[in-house]
Amino acid sequence: MSTLTEAPPPLASAAPAKKPPRRRGRLTPYWLLLPGILWLVVFFALPMVYQASTSVQTGSLEEGYKVTWHLATYWDALAEYWPQFLRSVLYAAAATVLCLLLGYPLAYLIAFRAGRWRNLIMILVIAPFFTSFLIRTLAWKTILADNSPVVHTLNTLHVLDLTSALGWTAGDRVLATPLAVVCGLTYNFLPFMILPLYTSLERIDGRLHEAAGDLYARPWTTFRKVTFPLSMPGVVSGTLLTFIPAAGDYVNAELLGSTDTRMIGNVIQTQFLRILDYPTAAALSFILMAAILAMVTLYIRRSGTEDLV
Amino acid sequence: MPFVTWLKRHLVVIAGLLTLSYLLLPNVIVTVFSFNRPKGRFNYEWQQFSLDAWRQPCGVADMCGSLSISLQIAVWATVGATLLGTMIAFALVRYRFRARGAVNSLIFLPMAMPEVVMAASLLTLFLNMGAQLGFWTILIAHIMFCLSFVVTAVKARVMSMDPRLEEAARDLYAGPAQTFLRVTLPIAAPGIAAGALLSFALSFDDFIITNFNAGSTVTFPMFVWGSAQRGTPVQINVIGTAMFLVAVLFVLASMLIGNRRNRQKA
């Protein structure tokens, strides 16, 4: 009757059970799981199967599609859209690095330096979530507009000359360039980086910092040898929570970018909703999923075994 | 060099506050531009101060209708996801059963999947089944992607719960139903509330999955998306500002209540 076993109590030794655990129906967990799991199987797992089958179909919208195991769809899709794939990975990676660089100081500030302001700052980090992200993304059109103070300043400081030389911006414009898209991605997914970072920083025992200081570590050394390694779980989950949605995003590329900044999400969206080429769209979506799962697994393995433990 | 020392000591604070302003700048712009009177169809350039949009928040055709659809979907998605997710969370923490690994991956995968992939595959399913796209398909999709977040939130709370409290209730002759309602549920409530709040926010703000599976139904995010092509009415900013204020007030109020409770206990 192993199904009856309750979860082991965390303080089992301190709390000897006075009575044997009550007998519960051994089907109870299955009844609890059934509706939710059924929902996920039918509306999450099953669609993946349908999509896999769609990706190897051929035909047309008028005559209908048939499974013909036409794997060339995958090859054609990759051959045609590899620039968008590459762009998605690059933009998402750039946004993730920026999120880490921008988010870490703020998470650190909330965890160790904010004092009684901690709750207020926390609210200010979360509250934008409750305003539609599309409205907030549109606000970047104003911030990055050609005659806005931000772009004017960047122009005056000749920063845009440098970024244009690197191909990140075009001329004296920021809007409709890769920089604008990466800026939007960074902005949109920054809270997903800050929250896990904060969670793992907050768990660090403050006495470890004191100990490092007592052992004559300079603040920077303390950070490098104590704080940062201990915050690795937050870094790993923050990176994943930023990279995955950023790589599949098409909203920022559409609103802040141009035809030259289209990401793979834009292609999937257009193929599915406008061109109605379902096999190609399904194949692209499958490649994206496989690529992200592979990258994530690799990343978790590398950071998981060496740094997380 | 007192300034350099000061700068060194407060570098983290300065950098953190800069990030915070980066996060809040768009909200400031949204608020300021809700008082704008734009010249053309788009509200991206400041022209002159006006209260028109605040006086007539529903002055744009279809906008408040889409807002009401979004609210309805968010409420039902929250109810559905919270109920199903809480049940799964309890099963995961309290019982041992077969296929636990499979269940865990089924919970984790939707959170690790780009939205566009889930959106596209769900649309494939609906098209294959010949389902009528609209309110119900959106609701189904929202419950699906909110579920995992509820499970995670509730699981964390139930796991940190001291099982001795329930044993004590049983020792005091509380029946199973009584133990659950008077002891277990109140302790798990903050986790359930967090999951529900997250579901509401995720559902209300979702665009990508909704856009694929909405048919001709227009939710508020879809209205905003459409207006980015056709012309952005100032009223969008009014709604955005109001949502931000409501969220901040809501959180502040819940914190004040929490503080008072703690003080009363002490």
| A222 contacts on B by Cβ (under 8 Å) | none
Q: State whether residue B180 sits within 8 Å of chain A by CB.
A: no
Which pLDDT belongs to residue A24?
A: 55
In the stretch 70-99 of chain A, residues with CB closer than 8 A to chain B read none
Beta-carbon separation of B124 and A46 below 8 A: no
Contacts with A30 from chain B: Cβ below 8 Å: 91, 97
> Do B241 and B111 lie in a common domain?
no
Q: Are strands A57-60 and A64-67 parallel, antiparallel or unpaired?
A: antiparallel
Q: What total number of domains does chain B contain? A: 2
**Cβ separation A126–B128 shorter than 8 A:** no
B112 reaches A (C-beta below 8 A): yes
ipTM of the predicted assembly exceeds 0.85: yes
- Interface probe for A, chosen from B124, B245, B255, B262 (most Cβ of A below 10 Å), is B124
Mean pLDDT to the nearest integer, B27-41: 92
Query: Å from B96 to nearest chain A CA?
Result: 5
B109 shares its domain with B157: yes
Residues of B in contact with A129 (CB under 8 A): 201, 205, 247
Domains along chain A? 72-308 (1.10.3720.10)
B207 and B124 within one domain: yes
CB spacing of B212 vs A282 below 8 angstroms: no
Is residue B107 located within the same domain as residue B175?
yes
Per-residue pLDDT reduced to its tens digit, B83-96: 999 999 999 988 88
Based on the fold, state whether residues B28 and B131 are members of the same structural domain: no
Together in a domain, B194 and B72: yes
Which pLDDT value is given to residue B223?
95
Mean pLDDT over residues A71-81, rounded?
A: 90
Instruction: Note whether A33 contacts B: Cβ–Cβ < 8 A.
Output: yes
Average pLDDT for A76-89 = 93
For the CA atoms of A271, A142, A189, A80, what is the dihedral angle to 10 degrees? 30
Distance CA B44, CA B38 (A): 8
The chain-wide mean pLDDT, for chain B, equals 90
A18 pLDDT higher than 60: no
pLDDT at A11 over 60: no
Same domain, B192 and B257: no
Interface subset of A 109-138, CB within 8 angstroms of B: 109-110, 113, 119, 121, 123-138
Residue of higher predicted confidence among A26 and B103: B103
Tell me, yes or no, whether B95 and B144 share the same domain.
yes
CA angle A114–A115–A117, rounded 5-degree value? 65
Residue B185: give the domain boundaries: 61-232
Model confidence pLDDT, tens digit, residues B40-63: 889 888 988 988 889 988 888 889
Task: Report the CATH number at residue B177.
Answer: 1.10.3720.10
d(CA B82, CA A247): 28
Residues B50 and B145 in one domain: no
Does residue B70 sit in the same domain as residue B200?
Answer: yes
Asked whether the predicted pLDDT for residue A89 surpasses 60, the reply is: yes
Q: What is the mean pLDDT of chain A?
A: 85
HEC string of A23-48 equals: CCCCCHHHHHHHHHHHHHHHHHHHHH
Query: What integer pLDDT is reported at residue B45 of this predicted model?
Result: 86
Q: Which of A91, A90, A181 is nearest to A137 (CA)?
A: A181
Summarize pLDDT for B201-225 with one digit per residue, the tens.
999 999 999 999 999 999 999 999 9
The answer, yes or no, to whether residue A9 has pLDDT greater than 60, is no
pLDDT, tens only, A31-56? 999 999 999 999 999 999 999 888 88
Residues B150 and B22 in one domain: no
The confidence score (pLDDT) of residue A309 equals 31
Residues B109 and B154 in one domain: yes
Q: What's the predicted TM-score (pTM) here?
A: 0.87
pLDDT over 70 for what percent of chain B? 99
- Per CB-CB distance under 8 Å, the chain B contacts of A40 are 106-107, 110, 144, 147-148
What confidence score (pLDDT) does residue A189 get? 95
More confident residue, B17 or A23: B17
